[in-house]
Structure 1
Amino acid sequence: MNQWLDDLRIAIAFLTRLPMPHPDGARPESFARAQRLFPLVGAGIGAAVGLFCLLLRSIGVPDLAAAALTLGGAALLTGALHEDGLADVADGFGGGRDVAAKLEIMRDSRLGTYGALALVVSFASKLAALAALPDGMVVQSLIAAHALGRGALPWIAISLPYARKDGLAANAGASALIMMQLARRQIGGQTGDVLGGAEQVAETAILVLLAARLG
């Protein structure tokens, strides 16, 4: 039980901005093991922001504005960790001429044109999808999107080699099939940014699909 609680604290500390005590004796393998709780933490994030969205709607905030504020709240809760990865991947894959250049661009914290466009497309897609969902499906849909988006992460870590040996992805997990194939073709493997970008692709796709079916 203590090991599960340690893993939960590690997963919460990594995926959110919530202050968590660092488990005693935590090692890199502890972080890898904590990936099993990524879907649970993702579900918690989805539930929290879903209830926030319903609260905004209940007090008369228009659906589109409520969706925008909800997405902003989610970014604050998570520190926009995965959004940053998506932007870096878009800049690197779009602007680099070879693998070395792509990896170098992805290390650069500055936001480029491709990264900005990727964030706009992702945000606009999630905004429209969330605004289209009926009240009765908002919380469930956000739980599904956040849980499945983060639950897909360990798969890429298993399926792809590491594009570089000193990055976060050496101890983290994996993502959507399209992103996995793209990363393999572009840089020959995975990085932490690829994992973050994959989570965003999965999260956005799930919300859009649910809105198309339920909206």
Structure 2
Amino acid sequence: MTFTLRLWAPSARSTAPPGGPERMRGARAAVIFLTRLPAGRAGTEDFARAPGWFAAVGLLVGGVQAVVYLLANALWGPALAALAAIIAGLLLTGALHEDGLADTFDGLGGSPRSERALEIMRDSRIGSFGALALGLVLGASVLALAQLGAGAAPVALIAAAGLSRAAMGVMLRHGPYLRAQGTGTGMTGPQNGLPIALAVAFALALGFLALGGAVLSGLAGLLAGAGVIWRWSRRRLGGVTGDILGAAQQLGALGFLLGVLAWP
């Protein structure tokens, strides 16, 4: 049994040259691509630069979630604050990565043949494997944030959001990317390393200041979560797709939260 999951998708890319400083066009394209925030239009060349800004946009998303968590915690306590933060992330990104998570598990769990798995992943409907994966990951994320509490959850949200999207950029660059047309088409080339390095450095520095050594176990959890999907997709499919990137972001972020919780 399947049911249709209706989700937002980025609007069609404009090939018209947008205005503004050239070095910031990739940032704007990343905002357009990863969120529902109004950021104008971007051209094809701008989207090619977007992965270099994925981590920075992740910090923005995590920052919004952290603020929502703190406000909701003051009103209702950590459990509902955790739920509110997850909902804020879903609304801000249009459930883009969650869609990829569901499609990935439907495809990889639905058929041992790579061609059939890729065909299933293209289907807009969500099946049993996707629904189970989506429910488990979202539920575990809420529980982890509630367990972390107001002292650690906001920073953990920011770090997890930024670092997991940095992992997406790495996977997109080293793929190989499988689809001639798809989410990552045109984004697999070399990227400006400065915004990536600055965003990752900020996430780690903030994490060390607020969480101490727990950042190390969080980072290990993130690498494990994203790495499992990357290895699985390369072995089963021979590379990655946009859905695989979304699944890696979700499992990487959850892995970071669980890793922080596991710190003694």
The two structures have a TM-score, normalised by structure 1, of 0.91
Aligned to 2:54: 38
Aligned to 2:252: 202
Aligned to 2:65: 49
The answer as to whether partners of 1:172 and 1:192 remain within 8 angstroms in 2 is no
CA distance in 1, matches of 2:230, 2:185: 15
Aligned to 2:231: 181
Deviation at 1:138, TM superposition (A): 2.2
1:151 matches 2:166: yes
2:179 to 146, 151, 164: 164
The answer as to whether partners of 1:86 and 1:118 remain within 8 angstroms in 2 is yes
Deviation at 1:62, TM superposition (A): 2.8
1:2-151 to 2 correspondences below 5 Å: 2-23=21-42, 26-27=43-44, 29-59=45-75, 61-151=76-166
Deviation at 1:94, TM superposition (A): 0.4
CA distance in 2, matches of 1:127, 1:5: 34
Note the alpha carbon deviations across 1:61-98, whole angstroms, 9 max, x for none: 13112211211111011100000000000000000231
Consecutive unaligned residues of structure 1, counting only runs of 5 or more, are none
Deviation at 1:142, TM superposition (A): 0.6
CA distance in 2, matches of 1:37, 1:163: 22
Matched position secondary structure for 2:125: coil
Distance 1:192 1:127, change over 3 A: same
CA distance in 1, matches of 2:112, 2:151: 47
Deviation at 1:16, TM superposition (A): 0.7
Higher mean C-alpha displacement, 78-87 vs 90-99: 90-99
The answer as to whether partners of 2:78 and 2:149 remain within 8 angstroms in 1 is no
Q: What do you get for the CA RMSD once the two structures are aligned?
A: 1.7
**Percent of residue pairs identical:** 39
Deviation at 1:165, TM superposition (A): 1.6
The answer as to whether partners of 1:156 and 1:195 remain within 8 angstroms in 2 is yes
Distance 1:92 1:182, change over 3 A: same
Consecutive unaligned residues of structure 2, counting only runs of 5 or more, are 1-19, 189-222
Task: Name segments (4+ residues, structure 1) moved above 6 Å.
Answer: none
The two structures have a TM-score, normalised by structure 2, of 0.75
Note the alpha carbon deviations across 1:158-203, whole angstroms, 9 max, x for none: 2222222222222346x92221110011111111101111111111
